[in-house]
C-alpha cells in the first residue's frame, strides 16, 4: 500500500464530485462541426510464397455477372510468365497464419515513427487501430485517413503484414499484449464466459465519431442525436454486417462480432437505461453504477474486485478505509477517468458521440461508406430529421432491454438486411444519405462509393457478410473473364489491404 499511496496521491473523490465530472465532460454541446473515425484492422502475415499482398481492388467484389478487371501489375515488378497465373494463397477452409508479437511490435513502432496524422494503437489480440484527429468536414477526414492508410500499408508491407477488413477473426482468441490492463480485463471477463477474450483479441470495427449536438431541441439536439444513435445503430449494424460465423454460438449470424459484444458481462457493454433522465443524467448514473473492471496499483497485478463492486460503492467504501490486507485505497479523479475507458456501450459519449456498432469493412477503402452514410444522417439537418422519422417506429422492438440486448439489435446482428423492417429502414436511410452528401461537400469518389454499396447491398437486401457466408475469409474460387473454364483460387480482394491503392482523383 505504501507504493500505491505515493503513486496515487490526491484528494479522494466524493460521489457528488464524480457525478459532476461525468455530467460535465461526456457531452460537449454545440452545432455539429467535426467528424472523426477509428479504424480497427485484423492483421495477417503476407504469404511467403507470393512475397507480397495482392494489388489494389475495388472496396467490394463486382456484382454477379459483372466483368472483373484483370489484376494490374505493380510498376517495376517482374512480370509473371503467364498473365492468368493465380497468386499463391492459403488452402481453402484454413485461416491464414498469425502475426507474431515481435513482428507486430516492430511494425507498430514503424507506424508510430511515420508522419501520420492518425494515432496508432495495438489491441490485445494484435489488431491495429488508426484513430483520426477531429476533422472540420467529412471530406477532410476521408483525405487525412486515406493518406495515413496509404503510407501505413507501404510500411506494413515491408514488415510482411497485411491489414484485414473483417469484423471477427476466425482464429481462436490469443492475447499478444501483456499489459496489466489487459491481464485484468481478461480475468474480469473470464468470470462470465469466453466472449470477453473473443472481444478483446478477435474483433475489429469502424467507429464513427460525431459531435454530441446542441442543448436545444431539434434535429441537432443532443437528446435527439442520442436517441437516433441507438435506433439507427441497429440499421447500421445490419447494413454493414461483415462477420459471418459458420459455427459456435453465433453460427449463421451476419454480425457475429455484435453477438460477441452482446454476450459480455451484461452492464458495461449495454446502453444506459434512460428511465426518464436526460442523456447526461443517464450516463452519469450508468458510469458510477458500473462494476469496476479493476483497481490499479503502482506495483504488481491490478486488483479485480471479486464482489462486483461498482465505482459508486468504491467511493463509499473508500470514505471508510480499512487496514486489512485486502483494503482498497480511496478512488481519485484519475481512477474515474480510467474507469470511463473500461465501459463499452454501443454508443459511448466522450465529449462527442462514438458509434461503436459497425463491423470492420472489406476493401482498402470500404470504411469510407459507413463513415459517409453515418455522418450524412447525423450532420445534415434535412437527412437527420427524416432519418429519425424512419427509425422511430423501430423503438417498439427495443422494449426487451437496452441495446444491444433487445430484439431490434439481435435481429440486426442475426439477419442483417434479410430482416424486412431493417431492410426497409436501410433503403430509406441510404437514399437520404446519398442525397445529403453533396450538401456536406463530399467528393465524387465518396458519393460513388456510397451509391455502389447501395446498389450492391442495400437494394437487394444484402450485406458484406453475405459475400462470404460459408466460405473462408482469405481465399475464394471464382471465374475470371477471358480465361478458360477452370476456377482460379486467389486471395479475396476484400481482405488483404497492405498494397497501396492507385493514386487518382482525391476523395
Instruction: Kindly give the confidence (pLDDT) of every residue in the chain, 507 residues in length, as a single tens digit, with 9 standing for 90 and above.
Output: 334 444 545 789 999 999 999 999 999 999 999 999 999 999 999 976 545 444 444 455 555 444 444 433 333 333 333 333 333 334 444 556 899 999 999 999 999 999 999 999 999 999 999 999 999 999 999 999 999 999 999 999 999 999 999 999 999 999 999 999 999 999 999 999 999 999 999 999 999 999 999 999 999 999 999 999 999 999 999 999 999 999 999 999 999 999 999 999 999 999 998 777 899 999 999 999 999 999 999 888 999 998 999 999 999 997 665 555 556 789 999 999 999 999 999 999 999 999 999 999 999 999 999 999 999 999 999 999 999 999 999 999 999 899 999 999 999 999 999 999 999 999 999 999 999 999 999 999 999 999 999 999 999 999 999 997 444 333 332 322 233 332 333 333 334 443 334 444 455
CA 37 to chain centre: 9
CA dihedral (9, 11, 14, 20) positive or negative: negative
CA dihedral (226, 440, 461, 388) positive or negative: positive
Q: Are 38 and 331 in contact (CB under 8 A)?
A: no
Distance CA 349, CA 340 (A): 10
Alpha-carbon dihedral 326, 332, 336, 342, rounded to 10 degrees: -40
Phi, psi (deg, nearest 5) at residue 266 = 90, 15
- pTM equals 0.84
Kindly give the pairing relationship between strand 161-164 and strand 35-45. antiparallel
Distance CA 120, CA 86 (A): 34
Amino acid at each position: 500500500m505504501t507504493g500505491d499511496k505515493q503513486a496515487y496521491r490526491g484528494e479522494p473523490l466524493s460521489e457528488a464530485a464524480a457525478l459532476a465530472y461525468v455530467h460535465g465532460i461526456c457531452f460537449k454541446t454545440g452545432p455539429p462541426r467535426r467528424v472523426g473515425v477509428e479504424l480497427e484492422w485484423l492483421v495477417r502475415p503476407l504469404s511467403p510464397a507470393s512475397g507480397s499482398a495482392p494489388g489494389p481492388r475495388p472496396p467490394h467484389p463486382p456484382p454477379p455477372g459483372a466483368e472483373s478487371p484483370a489484376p494490374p501489375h505493380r510498376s517495376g515488378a517482374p512480370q509473371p510468365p503467364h498473365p492468368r497465373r493465380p497468386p499463391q494463397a492459403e488452402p481453402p477452409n484454413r485461416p491464414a497464419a498469425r502475426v507474431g508479437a515481435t513482428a507486430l511490435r516492430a511494425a507498430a513502432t514503424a507506424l508510430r515513427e511515420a508522419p501520420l496524422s492518425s494515432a496508432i494503437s495495438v489491441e490485445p489480440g494484435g489488431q491495429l487501430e488508426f484513430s483520426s484527429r477531429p476533422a472540420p468536414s467529412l471530406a477532410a477526414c476521408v483525405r487525412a485517413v486515406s493518406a495515413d492508410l496509404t503510407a501505413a500499408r507501404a510500411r506494413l508491407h515491408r514488415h510482411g503484414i497485411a491489414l484485414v477488413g473483417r469484423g471477427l477473426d476466425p482464429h481462436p482468441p490469443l492475447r499478444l499484449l501483456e499489459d496489466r490492463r489487459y491481464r485484468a480485463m481478461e480475468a474480469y471477463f473470464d468470470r462470465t464466459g469466453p466472449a470477453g477474450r473473443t472481444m478483446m483479441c478477435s474483433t475489429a470495427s469502424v467507429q464513427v465519431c460525431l459531435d454530441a449536438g446542441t442543448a436545444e431541441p431539434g434535429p441537432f439536439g443532443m437528446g435527439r442525436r442520442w436517441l437516433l444513435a441507438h435506433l439507427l445503430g441497429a440499421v447500421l449494424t445490419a447494413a454493414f454486417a461483415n462477420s459471418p460465423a459458420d459455427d459456435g454460438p453465433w453460427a449463421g449470424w451476419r454480425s457475429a462480432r455484435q453477438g460477441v459484444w452482446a454476450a459480455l458481462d451484461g452492464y458495461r457493454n449495454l446502453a444506459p437505461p434512460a428511465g426518464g433522465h436526460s442523456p447526461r443524467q443517464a450516463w452519469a448514473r450508468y458510469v458510477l453504477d458500473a462494476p469496476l473492471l479493476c483497481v490499479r496499483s503502482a506495483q504488481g497485478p491490478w486488483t479485480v474486485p471479486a464482489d462486483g463492486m461498482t465505482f459508486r460503492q468504491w467511493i463509499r467504501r473508500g470514505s471508510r478505509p480499512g487496514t486489512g490486507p485486502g483494503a482498497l485505497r480511496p478512488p481519485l479523479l484519475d481512477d474515474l477517468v480510467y474507469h470511463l475507458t473500461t465501459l463499452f456501450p454501443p454508443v459511448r459519449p466522450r465529449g462527442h458521440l462514438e458509434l461503436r456498432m459497425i463491423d470492420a469493412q472489406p476493401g482498402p477503402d470500404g470504411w469510407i461508406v459507413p463513415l459517409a452514410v453515418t455522418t450524412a444522417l447525423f450532420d445534415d439537418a434535412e437527412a437527420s430529421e427524416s432519418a429519425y422519422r424512419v427509425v422511430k417506429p423501430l423503438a417498439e422492438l427495443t422494449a426487451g432491454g437496452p441495446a444491444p440486448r433487445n430484439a431490434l439489435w439481435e435481429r440486426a446482428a442475426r439477419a442483417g438486411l434479410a430482416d424486412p423492417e431493417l431492410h426497409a429502414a436501410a433503403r430509406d436511410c441510404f437514399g437520404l444519405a446519398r442525397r445529403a452528401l453533396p450538401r456536406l461537400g463530399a467528393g465524387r469518389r465518396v458519393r460513388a462509393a456510397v451509391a455502389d454499396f447501395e446498389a450492391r447491398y442495400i437494394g437487394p437486401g444484402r450485406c458484406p457478410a453475405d459475400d462470404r457466408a460459408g466460405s473462408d475469409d482469405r481465399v475464394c474460387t471464382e471465374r475470371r473473364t477471358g480465361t478458360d473454364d477452370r476456377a482460379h483460387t486467389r486471395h479475396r480482394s476484400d481482405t488483404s489491404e497492405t498494397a497501396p491503392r492507385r493514386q487518382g482523383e482525391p476523395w
